[in-house]
Structure 1
Amino acid sequence: MELRHLRYFVAVADDLSITRAAERLNIAQPALSHQIKSLEQEVGTILLQRLSRGVALTEPGRAFADDARAVLAAVDAAKARARRIASGDVGQIRIGFTSSASFHPLVTGAIRDYRRAYPDVQVELLEETTASLLAAFRAGRVDVAFMRPGEGEVDDLWARHLFDEPMVAALPATHRLAAETGPVGLADLSGEGFIVYPRRNGRALYDGIMAACAAAGFSPQIAQNAPQLASVVNLVATGIAVAIVPRSMARLATEGVRYRSILGPAPVAPMTLVRHPAPEMPHARIFTDLVLARVRGEAGEGSDASAAE
């Protein structure tokens, strides 16, 4: 039994006339009569009672017509849903981001804009380290991500550099330099202990901090490793050491922490948008287009969404 047989029968059931149904279906009346008889033979019972004028549905015919309409409606709904998924209107997208990325307004704004534009797409958010996000891509657990990869780490993926975010010094509120205004020189922190984000979690941030300190003439004394940048800031609040963090982390208004911009060339935290080179579904491509349009828009406006004291 084919779907066209169901459509033919429903047309006849609606019109109660093979002649009118044949005209509406744009097929010859004898051909339609033959298709209905073949359908009755396949079902195993008479579905239509032939009258002198038109036809009438038998009891089995009425039940079959109701079920046929339900089947055709389900098929039409399935086709419509498939088209909406193919166009990116429904479905699912898995968006990853590093903990520091979640504090940047471009990242949060892009996710908000996407939710508003595609309310029927289920958005799954995954907060991980850069190293864990790279592993998630390899395992197929994430579709697109905001991360800070090191050189060569995303060569096998689609990647677009979004911006270089300046980094700032995060100081305990009791620190000798915390009450001052203006930038602080990295060399002024040469004797301090540093809380750092481990290199195994993100090479770009770690290497950038180490290179900047080396350019300032010292190698930082690592007092503590912390798995997330939010944890870095919270540990600074305890007073045990200082840290260098992306400027958007200043949005984390942690009691006991003061942020100072860095004098001279400051280390930067690059932000990169990453996805699979050829995603099967369009959601990741649509999202990346939205992000890139937002970046171009903000660049045109000359906006700067985060600042340190």
Structure 2
Amino acid sequence: MNLDHLRYFVALSRTENYTQTAKLLHITQPSLTKAIHSLEAELNIDLFQKAGRSVTLTPAGKVFASDVESALLLLDKSVTNIKRFDQQKAPIRIAALRTLSIKWLPDIAQRFLQLSPHAAVQFQFNTDTGLSPDILNGLVDCKFNPNFLTNWSA
């Protein structure tokens, strides 16, 4: 079964008009007709009844339209979710003394971003109290105070 044919079927089930659906889908009417006939042949059942220039769904077509529409929505949602997953940025958490975080650390981060323009990273800087023991303890405990985080994204 062709996904495009299923999408065409759902669109036609909404409009019940070949000409209008073909325009909506930016395809030719013969292409739409062929796709629907192909789908009906594969299923070995009529999905539409002709009614002059328009069509209406058969009882089987109504059931199929509802199920296909739900399945396509779920499929589209899944594709969107997986694309978002790929676009998520990996966090790089850096804790530093305040004296280093003023000039040296931003320069290093900016150089990294320039050398790796396609890196999907997000820098999170933490200076917390600025005292070495607090920073070291935070690194050991994997604690980052969100009030002191600065985000830079590539």
Q: What band does the TM-score fall into relative to the shorter chain?
A: 0.5 to 0.7
Pair 1:290–1:50, CA change in 2 (3 A): same
User: What displacement does 1:71 show?
Assistant: 1.4
Matched with 2:17 is 17
Equivalenced residues, count: 115
Pick one of 127, 130, 143 that aligns with 1:304.
130
- Whichever residue aligns with residue 88 of structure 1, its letter is Q
Q: TM-score normalized by structure 1? A: 0.33
Q: Which of 124, 132, 136 is residue 290 of structure 1 equivalent to?
A: 124
Q: Distance in 2 between matches of 1:65 and 1:9?
A: 7
Query: Over residues 73-111 of structure 1, what are the superposed CA-to-partner deviations in whole Å (9 max), with x where a residue is unaligned?
Result: 01110111012211217xxx8xxxxxxxxxxxxxxxxxx
Aligned amino acid, residue 23 of structure 2: E
The separation in 2 between residues aligned to 1:49 and 1:305, in whole angstroms, is 78
Shift in alpha-carbon separation, 1:47–1:87, aligned structure 2, 3 A: same
Q: How does 1:38-187 map to 2 (within 5 A)?
A: 38-88=38-88, 162-163=95-96
Larger radius of gyration: 1
User: Higher strand proportion, which one?
Assistant: 1
C-alpha distance in 1, partners of 2:23/2:48?
Answer: 18
- Distance in 2, Cα, partners of 1:60 & 1:290: 56
The corresponding residue for 1:226 is: none
CA shift for structure 1 position 69: 0.5
Q: Distance in 2 between matches of 1:307 and 1:6?
A: 62
Structure-to-structure mapping, 1:205-216, within 5 angstroms: none
Q: CA 1:21/1:306 → structure 2, altered by over 3 Å: closer, same or farther?
A: same
Unaligned runs of 5+ in 1: 94-113, 115-143, 147-159, 165-281
In structure 1, distance between residues paired with 2:81 and 2:9: 25
Find the residue that maps to 2:49 and give its secondary structure: strand
Counterpart for residue 132 of structure 1: none
Partner-residue secondary structure (3-state), 1:290:
strand
TM-score (norm 2): 0.63
For 2:82 and 2:124, how far apart are their aligned partners in 1?
23
- Give the Cα–Cα distance (whole angstroms) in 2 for the partners of residues 88 and 69 of structure 1: 29
Query: CA deviation digits over 1:131-190, x for unaligned, max 9?
Result: xxxxxxxxxxxxx7x8xxxxxxxxxxxxx7x447xxxxxxxxxxxxxxxxxxxxxxxxxx
CA gap 1:79/1:307 in 2 versus in 1, 3 angstroms: closer
Ranges in structure 2 where 5+ consecutive residues have no aligned partner: 98-119, 135-154
Report the Cα distance in structure 2 between the residues aligned to 1:25 and 1:307, rounded to whole angstroms: 64
Q: Deviations over 1:190-212 (max 9, x none)?
A: xxxxxxxxxxxxxxxxxxxxxxx
Shift of 1:7: 0.5
